[in-house]
Structure 1
Amino acid sequence: MVKFQCSIAINLVLLQCLLALVASQRFDFFYFVQQWPGSYCNTKQPCCYPTPAKPAADFGIHGLKPYYNNGSYPSNCDPNSPFNPSKISDLESSMQKNWPSLACPSNNGQAFWSHEWEKHGTCSKSVLDEHAYFKAALELKQKANLLQALKSAGITPGGSYSLKSIKHAITEAGGYTPWIECNKDSSGNYQLYQIYLCVDTSASKLIKCPVFPKGPCSSEIKFPSF
């Protein structure tokens, strides 16, 4: 009887591991999401600059998120793989520059990175371990230089622009149509908040988005200064 109970317990553990592995393997693409800090900080909600320093006036990484072609996504796939900052110690200075947290109170970003790894990164760890996951996101940011793409089209912080022109500028530079997420400033005006690009399951190259998220915006939006 004891052996039988042990066998059941072992099989249950193996099944849980198998389910976690399957969950971590089954996704169709990534959304690579970058955020404009000026639009995060001028809403009715407060923002706080990171403890190292105020970020540069550039898009910052929000996340690299596995998704399914139907628009749903896996999350928190492996509770046995918590964020370990020592695994990305060589990336930390680049992370602070390119993936800063603007949440209050001021912090060094590790809580933000931990959330992104545990909620999203663990669902892709069959192809990307923790270090590879963050390294891939940093490399994608350099590949998709959004601020430069917009500036090349005459779209600079401090003005208002058509949503169509913003999408066109990014498509011309990167080859693929982005999705633009808007939020509202403290006066209720729609503004450029986050830009979504789609990436293949190896997180190495941009692809055509199988599906776009949904959310309100307007035909003319602000691109606030920071």
Structure 2
Amino acid sequence: MRRWIDQLDKIENNINHYWSKLKCPPTDGVNAWKSAWDSYGVCSGLKQLDYFKAALNLRKQADLLGALADQGILPDYKLYSTAKIKSAVTAKLGVEPGLQCRDGPFGKKQLYQVYLCVDTDAKTFIKCPKLPATLSCPASVVFHPFYTWMLNSTAAAAFDSKIVLPTQTMLN
């Protein structure tokens, strides 16, 4: 298994920039990548490295932060309509996403994950035939920014104290 993980580190100038290993406490990302492969990749019909390359290409194509920003939805602690969030993603990609929320600041729910489905060509976003039953968001949610100080000092040092958003590429 280690061999294909080592290959991942070489794609896209380092997979850690795009496929986050952010966790508290921090990890090296290998378990997350292995879990993604075991859950989705093995059924994709792609080789391991090709699966992760396709995922990174889809990430660039989706540009979720850009789609949200185009509609004035920014990670700034404000409340945003989940219908507006879905509409912004739908306008960009032509398919409605699933949204997952978790407990957030100020006693509100925060946007946690955006779910998208992809056709077997690994290039085209499609309407999800079924979304996880765990998806649940109220009518309005907080779009919470992420800062490295939210991690412990070891993890923050690894990110050089730069601001990192959940789906944003770290800029050098």
Of structures 1 and 2, the one with the larger relative CO (CA 8 A, separation 6+) is 1
Q: Stretches of 4+ moved more than 4 A in 1? A: none
Q: How has the CA–CA distance of structure 1 residues 114 and 212 changed in structure 2, closer, same or farther, with 3 Å as cutoff? A: closer
Are 1:128 and 2:46 matched, yes or no? yes
Q: What TM-score comes out, normalization by structure 2 length? A: 0.75
- Deviations 1:99-125 (Å, cap 9, x if unpaired)? 11222332331222122223332232x
Residue 114 of structure 2 aligns to which amino acid in structure 1?
Answer: I
203-212 or 155-164: which moved more?
A: 203-212
Q: Is the 8 A contact 1:87 1:130 kept in 2?
A: no
Q: Is the 8 A contact 1:96 1:109 kept in 2?
A: yes
Taking the aligned partners of 1:225 and 1:88, their CA distance within structure 2 comes to 28
Are 1:116 and 2:8 matched, yes or no? no
In structure 1, runs of 5+ residues without a counterpart are: 1-81
2:15 equivalent in structure 1: 95
RMSD between aligned residues: 1.8
Q: What TM-score comes out, normalization by structure 1 length? A: 0.58
1:105 equivalent in structure 2: 25
Q: Is the 8 A contact 2:99 2:114 kept in 1?
A: yes
Q: Is the 8 A contact 1:182 1:193 kept in 2?
A: yes
- Deviations 1:77-112 (Å, cap 9, x if unpaired)? xxxxx4631332421744111111222332331222
In structure 2, runs of 5+ residues without a counterpart are: 147-172
Are 1:144 and 2:55 matched, yes or no? no
Q: Is the 8 A contact 2:5 2:30 kept in 1?
A: yes
Taking the aligned partners of 1:198 and 1:102, their CA distance within structure 2 comes to 23
Among residues 136, 141, 150, which one is paired with 1:216 in the alignment?
136
Determine which structure has the larger strand proportion and give its number: 1
Q: Is the 8 A contact 2:8 2:15 kept in 1?
A: no
Q: How has the CA–CA distance of structure 1 residues 197 and 119 changed in structure 2, closer, same or farther, with 3 Å as cutoff? A: closer
Taking the aligned partners of 1:151 and 1:220, their CA distance within structure 2 comes to 17
